Structure 1
Amino acid sequence: METVEKDILRGGQFLVKESKCEDIFTPEDFSEEQIMMKEAVKEFTDREIVAHRDRFEAKDYALTEEVMKKAGELGFLGVAVPEEYGGMGMGFVSTMITCEYISSGNGSLSTAFGAHTGIGTMPITLYGTEEQKQKYVPKLASGEWMGAYCLTEPGAGSDANSGKTTAELTEDGKSYKINGQKMWISNAGFCNLMIVFARIEDDKNITGFIVEYDAANPNGITLGEEEHKLGIRASSTRQVFFNDTVVPAENMLSVRGGGFKIAVNALNVGRIKLAAACIDSQRRVLTTALQYANERKQFKTPIADFGAIKAKLAEMATNTYAGESASYRAAKDIEDRIAMRMAAGNSHQEAELKGVEEYAIECSILKVTVSEDVQACADEGIQIFGGMGFSEETPMEAAWRDARIARIYEGTNEINRMLSVGMLIKKAMKGHVDLLGPATAVADELMGIPSFDTPDYSELFAEEKEMIAKMKKVFLMVAGSAIQKYGPDLEKHQQLLLAAANILNEIYMAESTLLRAEKNAKRFGEDAQEGQIAMAKLYLYNAVEIVAKNGREGIISFAEGDEQRMLLMGLKRFTKYANYPNVVALRNTIAEKLKAENKYCF
């Protein structure tokens, strides 16, 4: 892996530092190897997954297992696994590409893939001893064995550390006996290995264990019936019961009480991978809806020519482009941070763990935003199809049902919103992100007289960049005032945190979209990027509206009198364009490009 010379921002620093478009990575920067990987996975997805949509919807669990085995034979399950353990040892961006394109054919396969490669394999790769890695990881990387992850319990969902499953050391000290119940376990019906979390005695934190499972010799493990779910119907989801299940002591993962840390770090990776898993799904939904809209005639006109449909298509494409831009920006930052740590002498395990952990804020932002965008995309897909969209004959209703789980997976979106703001404040307290200086500067600016100079907006995105900078001021103003008022009690004010998180999310997404469009306009020419430029401007306009709404809601919730009036005046100043974009014209530009290409084409 090459060393990276450029100075990359630390996690969360996007809020207080300006990024240059040259310093961010975009999908247009994929290497030849990455493009080949993308094409190979797309071809596999079309042949093995999309072609069998009806079987997946009919709860064909055996098909999910069969396709997973084929993915293993082609190496897709081992993309992120180091070569010495039977994997491909590819970088973080390549693992994102694989996840994105294998996940778009069907939600059931996407879930099986994510559960196996992420939370089923990765904890051993990153926390296992050398013996554990040599014994288990090659089997998981090849697909010979399938993995599952047993964390959630009836009383322990978002509060993962509150699980009641116990692990008791046997008298001879050679084994642990596990007793308890886990639920919502993906891949349970065909797994050979489970990562199980249990509490030893009355430890504060849970501990991780590698537990082998053989249906012919179940070792005290029984499985519940397959759950009947709204979506992801061919994903095997069962309860798992442990009754004096004997696990060798050497199968403890990491250290005693280290399970909560494993769970948290697995979730960080899971969050950004979940965002990736939603991107090509949006492209496929949009392309299907677009092709229908171009063919479907009402009043002797293709419905794609109607302004109401154009607006939907443009917004669907814009959100897809934004999700892709932000996801690969963060993925390359993670990859570069891993390379820097390895160059500095860290082990692969340490570098990977710390590299992802550095960008935990961005991972949460992406998980929330892209999971909500894929649901909105599928919803509009149904709407464009009209009555046909509600029928099982078209792929829209299945896409809508499958998308719904993404807002619950990897920590609910509500939890992730509060986490992103909480993690940012913690980073500020550790001195990793300077929030105090910029927040003080914004407070001083509010007290000062605004400038009445006419700025120069002749350069591409000049005003848009100023709007991004102003949105950052809104966050610093609202969050800074709220922290001053509530201090450590801020975490109790969840609705205020949610509003602050919505502002934070939009800043990262809008900036990423703008920087990508700017970078590509510089290298390919503005004319060639007309649709992308329009999408960057449209996304920003929508973001400013969301920031204004959430900023107002936040301010009103904690400020009164003169303070409230001052903050609301600041909000108005920071969310006001000098020249508002013609949103209808932007949407029409995007929609006309889509109509002409008859597919997502950006």
Structure 2
Amino acid sequence: MAMELELRGGGFLLAEVKPEQVYVREELNEDHLQLKRMTHNFMVKEVAPKIEDIEEQVEGVVREYMRQAGELGLLGLEVPEEFSGLSLDKASTVVVGEEVPRGGSFAVSYAAHTGIGTLPIVYFGTPEQKAKYLPGLATGQTIAAYCLTEPGSGSDALGAKTTAVLNAEGTHYILNGTKQFITNAGFADVFLVYAKVEGKLTNFIVERTYPGLSLGPEEKKMGIKGSSTRQVILEDVLVPVENVVGEVGRGHVVAFNILNVGRFKLAAGAIGSAALVLETALKYASERKQFGVSLNSFGAIQNKIAEIATKTYMAESVVYRTAGLMENGFHGLDLTGDCRKEAGKILEEYAIECSLNKVLASEVLDYAVDEGLQIHGGYGFIQEYPIERMYRDSRINRLFEGTNEINRLLVPGTLLKRAMTGELPLLQAAKSVSKDLMTSGLGNEAEGLEGLNQLVQKAKKLCLMAAGLAAQNLGVSLKDNQFVLMGMAEMVLQVYSMESAVLRALKVQDMDVPAAHKTFVEKAATLGTFAAFNVLEQQAKEVLCAVEKGDSLSTVMAGMRKLLRRPTVDMIGLRQEIARYVIDKESYPTL
């Protein structure tokens, strides 16, 4: 049975999605909440008190907490029960991912191990590889590192120079090369190494004890100082042929799809970090007095608090929606056997959404730490205050798992590729929108959340119109016009963010949750959606002015003006109300 259009990767652009089709945070069950509380307690009571030791890389500290996390089951959330894991759903990985940042740089070691370090074997390993390696990875007895980046190839993963040559006996591959910026390298037991076999990328499981594997010194980093980051040097390392992950020459399938899920998991950590930043800033603003009153009584500070909360709400809505999509894809898949083809298809399906998650959440976090530090004033620049470390630590997220620029370019590139292969009727939809705008109006405007949903549909049409005209007028040259592609990516990002926020708000109104939370969700969705639409409008104008000229541009702009009509909204009033609610809660409002 064909997947419904709106549930296909990127299909949200072409269909009107209903609230019941999205997963929202408010649907977390008691098992999820208990897991979240357990993780919170572990991070706050055990790991956080040792943040200074972690930051100074005191030997054995991170390794010990990884072992303890394994005992609690936190390292095996996505590992099948048959291999000492818990076989939990994607929402479980999100609630844990949100809490782990309370341990500072420990979160980086945790994420690298449980995500890109373990999941290549879960999704692409043979049954024998799973039986051999997953129990240790799930319990923390074994720690993993992911080795893709090289000194000369970062975003250009296929440009890797590391080689793997089959020995004369046909029993081992001989690996030579250097991997750069490898998280967990200093204490990892297993390395997922990418090397080229006859010019084609292949993934290998390389054990630390194999002769010829050595490490460079620890990198001196701006942030995430407590995580181990080193070069991994391979000199005639003999790796058994049975340690090939996936297929020889198909390492790009493993690499790119594991990065997809890594981006999704990074976003979960980023929204948890943004909520922690808000909590930290709220505490400081309530205690710090200026001119005889608390900082949080000033409108300028309240404005920052409201914006951080709203942007976090938008990113959170995107992450939980995507968790639902991915869980729907993986539901019923047997991960104990050879599932590489099925898993690869699912991860590839949601490549667009995973990139959007990563870009949005990492940029929301950077906004949050910047404004959080500003709320602290001069004290925010002092190491004694945790916001100083949070500020430095956040910056890596826009580089991790593919830079945000690469992830933005992936979005329109994937959409256009799927349009060309007939997977998504993107160009047909774009032509239909352009035709409708020239021949008809848009009907009456609703109010409240239904009005917001109408605005989302206008945003989709605006995005489709701009993308369609860019593809029509630039043709094959569009794939090399990164100025236009970046504008298209930003439009898609805003559409996904708006729709996720509004559908969540619509769904929550019919749920058994406190009235105050329903009000917060509606106000945050309204403020966030109107702000996103303003960004979308600007990007659409820039793209259209780049691909249309003269009378044709005037005609297109006339049609575009129909889509830009929207009700007025008191943005300042919304910020004031959101700020008051958040200040009263003393944290980001979950429920």
TM-score (norm 2): 0.96
Aligned amino acid, residue 275 of structure 1? A
User: Are 1:151 and 2:148 matched, yes or no?
Assistant: yes
- Residue 467 of structure 1, CA deviation: 1.0
The correspondence of residues 237-252 of structure 1 with structure 2, limited to 5 A, is: 237-252=229-244
Matched with 2:352 is: 361
Cα shift readout 1:56-113 (whole Å, capped 9, x = no counterpart):
33333532222111111111111100111111111222122222222x2144212111
Alpha-carbon separation, structure 2, partners of 1:17 and 1:374:
30
Give, in angstroms, the shift of residue 446 of structure 1. 3.1
2:201 is aligned to: 206
Partner of 1:172: 169
TM-score (norm 1): 0.94
Q: Which residue of 1 aligns with 2:274?
A: 282
Matched, 1:116 2:89: no
Deviations 1:210-239 (A, max 9, x none): 11113xxx5011110000001110100001
Determine the C-alpha separation between the residues in 2 that align with 1:450 and 1:496. 28
Distance across 1 between alignment mates of 2:170 and 2:342:
33
3-state SS of 2:173 partner? strand
Q: Which residue of 1 aligns with 2:94?
A: 96
CA contact (8 A) 1:338 1:352 kept: yes
Which amino acid is the alignment partner of residue 13 of structure 1?
G
1:365 CA drift (Å) = 0.5
Quote the offset at 1:430 in angstroms: 2.8
Q: Does 1:516 align with 2:504?
A: yes
Instruction: Give the structure 1 partner of residue 371 of structure 2.
Output: 380
Q: Does 1:334 align with 2:323?
A: no
Structure 1 position 552 matched with structure 2 position 541: yes
1:239-318 correspondence runs (5 A): 239-318=231-310
CA 1:209–1:535: 2 relative to 1, 3 Å? same
User: Following TM superposition, by how much is the alpha carbon of 1:563 offset from its aligned partner in structure 2, in angstroms?
Assistant: 1.9
**SS in structure 2 opposite 1:77?**
coil
Distance 1:471 1:456, change over 3 A: closer
Give distance in 2, aligned partners of 1:185 and 1:101. Answer: 24
**CA–CA distance in structure 1, aligned partners of residues 518 and 84 of structure 2:** 41
The 3 A distance-change label for structure 1 pair 525 and 221 is closer
Please show how residues 373-522 of structure 1 align to structure 2 within 5 Å: 373-450=364-441, 455=444, 457-458=446-447, 460-522=448-510
> 2:423 is matched by which residue type in structure 1?
H
Please give the per-residue CA displacement for 1:501-555, whole angstroms capped at 9, x wherever unaligned: 1110011111111111111122247655212111000001110111011111111
Match of 2:12 in 1: 14
Match of 2:191? Answer: 194
**Distance (whole Å) between structure 2 residues aligned to residue 499 and residue 64 of structure 1:** 41
Contact 1:11/1:359 (<8 A) preserved: yes
The CA deviation at 1:349 is 4.6
Aligned match for 2:138, one of 128, 137, 141:
141
Is 1:548–1:571's contact at 8 Å kept on the other side of the alignment? Answer: no
CA distance in 1, matches of 2:563, 2:84: 53
Q: Distance in 1 between matches of 2:461 and 2:220?
A: 47
TM-superposed CA distance for 1:569, in Å, is: 3.0
Work out the CA distance in 1 between the residues paired with 2:589 and 2:327: 27
Structure 1 residues 431 and 599: alpha-carbon distance in aligned structure 2, compared to 1, 3 A threshold:
same
1:49 aligns with 2:47: yes
How many Å separate the matches in 1 of 2:60 and 2:267?
27
Question: 8 Å contact 2:163–2:196 — kept in the other structure?
Answer: yes
Which residue does 1:79 correspond to in 2? 77
One-letter amino acid matched to 1:571? M
Cα deviation, residue 342, structure 1: 6.2
Q: 1:533-548, aligned counterparts within 5 Å?
A: 533-548=522-537
Displacement of 1:177 in angstroms is 1.1
Shift of the 347–223 alpha-carbon distance from structure 1 to 2, 3 Å rule, reads closer
Unaligned 5+ segments in structure 2 are: none
User: Alpha-carbon deviation of 1:297?
Assistant: 1.8
Indicate the SS of the match to 2:75. Answer: helix
Shift of 1:352: 3.5
User: CA offset at residue 347 of structure 1?
Assistant: 6.4
Q: SS of the counterpart of 1:133?
A: helix
Q: Are the aligned partners of 1:107 and 1:231 in contact in 2 as well (CA < 8 Å)?
A: no
Structure 2 vs 1, CA of residues 325 and 448 (structure 1 numbering), >3 Å: closer, same or farther? same
1:488 CA displacement: 2.3
Aligned partner of 1:37 among 35, 38, 43 = 35
Distance 1:55 1:98 in 2: 23
Letter in 2 for 1:38: K
- In structure 2, C-alpha distance between the alignment counterparts of 1:429 and 1:159, rounded to whole Å: 24
User: Given that residues 6 and 14 in structure 2 are in contact (C-alpha distance below 8 angstroms), is that contact kept between their aligned partners in structure 1?
Assistant: no
Could you give the per-residue CA deviations for residues 411-452 of structure 1, whole angstroms, max 9, x where no partner exists? 11000001011111222223332213321121112322535x
**1:110 and 1:22 mapped to 2: Cα distance?**
33
Show the 5 A alignment for 1:345-360.
349-360=340-351
Matched residues in 1 for 2:54 and 2:337: separation? 43
How many angstroms apart in 2 are the aligned matches of 1:92 and 1:261? 21
Aligned pair in 2 of structure 1 residues 349, 207: CA closer, same or farther (>3 Å)? closer
Aligned residues: 588
Distance 2:170 2:537 in 1: 60
| Contact 2:246/2:340, CA 8 A, preserved across alignment | no
Kindly, what percent of the aligned residue pairs are identical? 40
Amino acid paired to 1:586: L
The Cα of 1:470 is off from its aligned counterpart by 0.8
Deviates more, 1:495-504 or 1:429-438: 429-438
Q: Distance in 1 between matches of 2:163 and 2:339?
A: 31
Runs of 5+ consecutive residues of structure 1 not aligned to the other structure: none
Question: Is this contact kept in 1: 2:253–2:344, CA < 8 A?
Answer: no
Distance of 1:550 and 1:15 partners within structure 2: 16
Superposition CA RMSD, Å: 2.1
After TM superposition, the structure 1 stretch with the greater mean CA deviation from structure 2, 393-402 or 23-32, is 23-32
Where 1:601 maps in the other structure, the secondary structure is coil
Mapped partners of 1:72, 1:551: distance in 2: 48
